[in-house]
Structure 1
Amino acid sequence: MDRRDTIKSLLLGSVAAGLALNGCAPDVSSEETLKPLANGLYGRTPEEVERDEKLNSEEFFNGHELSTIAVLCDIILPKTNSSNSATEVGVTSFIEFIAKDLPNYKTPIRGGIMWLDSFSNRLYGKEFEKCSNTEQLAVCDQIAYPEKTAPELKQGEKFFSTMRNLTMTGYFTSKEGLQDLGYKGNTPNVWDGIPEDVLKAHGMAYEKEWLAKCVDQSKRGDIAVWDDNGNLIS
């Protein structure tokens, strides 16, 4: 099992540690209308759209911090022959948004980057993002495995775990990540009713006339098609 398969298993088993983000759906009253987004993938209430726009207009991380986050993201989930890297699906922007949306992430991430640069300077005389890929991997190897980290590197371990959780969440909740997981969403299934032997055991049976009206077996494999306004086409 390769790294990506392992992460998929962890994600599906634990929903990425609760998706790391307290992602509960908000209550929406019957008077509120979800506002469709340009991508057409989901809707937001007007208040949520306003908040998203406000957060997107703000800047928190500087260029160096964003570059360091990008390097870490692609170390955690690199590009493969069949999958995009974390940065290619916008995980860096996702992490920046989360830090602004959930301020309790701001200090741990910014402080973690400072720790990472300090540790890299101590080992190689340069900041983490300026290290070679071999040097960067050597740094990460020392903090990437919980319970195997040296006591003096526990702060780095905690930071790397936070970045790993955020990277996994950002990637596997993106369109590309969902496709990578093979997630299909709600799909129609087939139910042929109560098994005939069970009906017979209780002295019951379906009426053939009723079945003919309600169940058209010739169309059981058809998938409904809807237009952009939510009207059934076929």
Structure 2
Amino acid sequence: MDRRDALKTLSLGTLAASFAMTGCEQAPEEAAKQHKFWKHVTEEDLEKWESQFFTDHEFETVRQLSNLIIPADERSGNAEDAGVPEFIDFMMLDRPQNQTPIRGGLNWLDVQCQKRFNKKFVDCTEQQQKEMLDEIAYPEVASPEMQPGVTFFNRFRDLVASGFWSSKIGIEDIGYMGNQPYDWQGCSHEALEHIGLADKAKANT
């Protein structure tokens, strides 16, 4: 299972509960609107988005980090394509308790990259960025001095996953289609035979 599929698995429980409460007859774009952000924000809004909480530098860090967590693949676009950076920006205002941990974590990431590569995270090569993230993405093997980064990354990754798989792109990526017509032809002869009803079914035809 790759990183993207692992994140999807972690997110499906929450999404399933949401769909169960609202009904499963909706198309992806309608299902996505169950979250207040997607309910009020259009694609045009995303194109014109100006950060409500993050500085320009922080927002660029959020953008790059989100795309490293959920890159594009053969099924769909990346986190940025889904509007995840804007989602996270919104969530900073909707859930103020996240502001200090996320802003502090972004700063921590820059400090660590300055120590390692003499430049901030957004100015690092993709390989350098991944090298840094490898130090904090796996709590069970992270060194003690990396624990602040581990805590930040876990929280940030949850935000990315929540934003992506509650978006239209993310719901389509899951394969969610809502109720679809299905032409059921009845049980197979083998199945009826297995439960001892094959002769009865034959007599009724």
Using structure 2 for the length normalisation, give the TM-score: 0.71
Local SS of the residue matching 2:72 = coil
Q: CA deviation at 1:146?
A: 1.6
Q: CA deviation at 1:186?
A: 4.3
| Paired residue type of 1:123 | R
Cα distance in 2 for partners of 1:106, 1:43 equals 24
Local SS of the residue matching 2:71 = coil
Which residue number in structure 2 is paired with residue 112 of structure 1? 105
Decide which structure has the larger Cα Rg and report it.
1
Q: CA deviation at 1:57?
A: 8.4
Given that residues 143 and 149 in structure 1 are in contact (C-alpha distance below 8 angstroms), is that contact kept between their aligned partners in structure 2?
A: yes
Please tell me whether residue 2 in structure 1 is matched to residue 35 in structure 2: no
Local SS of the residue matching 1:122 = helix
Local SS of the residue matching 2:59 = helix
Match of 1:63 among 34, 56, 60: 56
Given that residues 139 and 150 in structure 2 are in contact (C-alpha distance below 8 angstroms), is that contact kept between their aligned partners in structure 1?
A: yes
Equivalences for residues 91-170 of structure 1 within 5 A: 91-170=84-163
Q: 1:153 to 1:43 in 2, by over 3 A?
A: closer
Cα distance in 1 for partners of 2:35, 2:139 equals 38
How many pairs are equivalent? Answer: 175
CA RMSD after TM alignment? 3.7
Q: 1:163 to 1:121 in 2, by over 3 A?
A: same
The structure with the greater share of residues assigned to helix is 2
Cα distance in 2 for partners of 1:62, 1:118 equals 17
Partner deviation per Cα, 1:76-128 (whole Å, 9 max, x = no partner)? 00111322000111100000000011100110110001100011101111111
Cα distance in 1 for partners of 2:104, 2:51 equals 20
Which residue number in structure 2 is paired with residue 11 of structure 1? 11
Cα distance in 2 for partners of 1:86, 1:171 equals 6
Q: CA deviation at 1:149?
A: 1.0
| Paired residue type of 1:8 | K
Which residue number in structure 1 is paired with residue 68 of structure 2? 75
Cα distance in 2 for partners of 1:95, 1:149 equals 25
Cα distance in 1 for partners of 2:88, 2:34 equals 21
Which residue number in structure 1 is paired with residue 176 of structure 2? 183
Cα distance in 2 for partners of 1:177, 1:40 equals 13
Using structure 1 for the length normalisation, give the TM-score: 0.63
| Paired residue type of 2:76 | S
Given that residues 70 and 79 in structure 2 are in contact (C-alpha distance below 8 angstroms), is that contact kept between their aligned partners in structure 1?
A: yes
Given that residues 4 and 69 in structure 2 are in contact (C-alpha distance below 8 angstroms), is that contact kept between their aligned partners in structure 1?
A: no
Gaps of 5+ in 1: 20-24, 26-38, 50-55, 193-234
Which residue number in structure 2 is paired with residue 224 of structure 1? none
| Paired residue type of 1:132 | T
Q: 1:149 to 1:184 in 2, by over 3 A?
A: same
